[in-house]
Structure 1
Amino acid sequence: MINKALKKFSYLCSLQMLTLAIALFFISNAKASLVENNSIDTVLFEKTEFLKVNEAFQLNPIIEDDQLVLNWFIAPGYYLYKNRFKLFDHNDDLIMYKPSYAAGGLIYDEYYKKNLEVYYGYTKFSVPLNISTKKIIIESQGCADAGLCYPVQRQTIFFDSSESVALLEEKFDKHQSIKKDVKFNKKTNSMEIKNLSLYVVLSFAFLGGLILNLMPCVFPILSIKILNLATLGATHNNKYLHGLAYTLGILLSFVLIGSLLMILRDTGESLGWGFQLQSPIFVGFIVYLFVLIGLSLSGWFTFGNNIMGWGQKTTQGNDLSSSFMTGLLATVVASPCTAPFMGTALGFALTQSS
């Protein structure tokens, strides 16, 4: 009797989930239709507070191997058009050189009546430099998802070869001009920005790592390993080796994660915060995955029984390989965790060259 009631309850829960998903789908389409027909454009526009253009689209240049690398940081809810990028030389002549752009996402543009490639979050491209280069002018244009499109902005980078200094001048309209100093070091291929240095970022990373060890999602894992070493019954040297094996597993995990990030950057060069969520294929995969997980938790079916406990089996035992695998899996378990100061360090790392 109880089993029948549970099955009926799970069936009702699954039906409610499916109904909710369908309702959200139709609501989303209805909202999009209203926006397209301009029936609620005025209301949305009045209530939305848009960022200034220099806040929505931030350009940070850096010199690497005699190339000017242009890093664009795009605020959430805003995007840049790929086909609106234009480069001009010091004579204000259009540069015919086509940079190697990163892969962007496609959106249907109502003004152009076609799909256009745009960038969300972060993108970059490089421009070759020569001795005669005095300045480069970059034109770009972006919009907000809420409906506002900014006018074309021109940003000028001046070069002083004797001091390796570039002055970035951003002109947004006829009445506004913002200037900021950006220093380049060609020998170290790094950008020295005021109030931000590698040592400060490393200090943030170290302090964030210390705090991270005290977080509830990391500290229990460390305590379990410490208790395991304490009850191992081995000699002092063996415990030392087990500790090194555990540390090696953690370090290898981070090396693999860092290598994956570099590979993704070298192939797509669109790496940034939540870059994977810009892909409709990835988002669709996650949606269906959670639907399957919900159905599995509701008792409709089970999967993965044969691989359950595989990670635990690799960590059992008193040999060095078990300690190594414990460190490897500890990183996987603790990877969703974060701590204060870690955001600054990770953001700095994601914007640096490989």
Structure 2
Amino acid sequence: MGRSPLSQLLEDPHAQRPQQRHASLYSDLLTTVRELGLLRRRYAYYWTRIGLVLAALGGVIAGFVLLGNSWFQLLMAGALALILVQVAFLSHDSAHRQIFDSAAWNDWTARLLAGGLAGMSITWWKNKHSKHHNAPNQIGKDPDIAIGVIAFTPDHAGSRRRGFIKWFGDRQGWLFFPLLTLEGLSLHVSSLQHLFRRGATRVERIEAAVVVSRLGLYVTALYVVLPVGKASAFLGLQLAVFGVCLGGSFAPNHKGMPLVPKTMKLDFLRRQVLMSRNVRGGPVVDFAMGGLNYQIEHHLFPSMPRPTLRKVQPIVREYCAQNGVKYTEVGFFESYTIIVDYLNNVGLRARDPFQCPLVSLYRD
């Protein structure tokens, strides 16, 4: 009986010379995953998911109209926020070309979902997110750890030495999640800034029209149907819940994992695995985090359909174990404890934040 592709891959990890094996780590794994058919599109899954999201969105709109001038509209606001989080996950998947074989179909689906339903620019987000995927947690290259309100690196935290900014920095882990209530507003503002910048492309101008129309119609509908106070409460709650849920699904994946100096070079597999963290928790966590809890597998295979990430996980975990690559997976609540601890103490971390003995062997 012939050996399976996985058994052939793992049977003798030392058969090659170390330098050759180091260079082919990812290509060997990718070949195995392709042979097992794990990169095939999952059309039924995604069409069903899109249909359910659209139906839920229609239900919220109907409920909003029927309720009229009522404080029960805040329930609609919370429900709308949760649905828009699922829309954002679908646009993320489409931007990564997980849904269709056609690049154009993926790009326009992502654009319509993000711009037409969520009111955000997929072009802005994709540019930023691609840089993150190319260099996760690498100082000076990953925009997700760039200088901002939160300090993610020791140097940035160390520059906050006086007054309120030092007080804030010492407690930023505890303040991180309250700050996520502003993430929804921040995403809309950043999207508009990008789309209306000088030099925007024709496609971005079309996207700008879609995003502005969506946001304008939404806000107008709120203030036409509801009094100013209730409309403002609806808008504020929707943005806050959206920001916390969406930001909370991305935060556990890399925060508190090793930081990579700007000049360090690593092979693709180690660069993606060692800087990423999986979050276990079953179907509920899978749904709440949009599959991003399989962050290691997502970074290794960005175009892999979301439901397949769970299937490829055992292969990746075993392969990493066979090749001495640390694979990190923690529980749902533990992941957030790690984030809070790291952000509260980031200023106390070593100056060379990348302290992994294994990877130090691979520095150039």
Q: TM-score range by the shorter chain?
A: under 0.3
Whichever structure has more strand as a proportion of its residues is 1
For the pair shown, the structure with the greater C-alpha radius of gyration is 1
TM-score by length of 2: 0.25
Whichever structure has more helix as a proportion of its residues is 2
TM-score by length of 1: 0.25
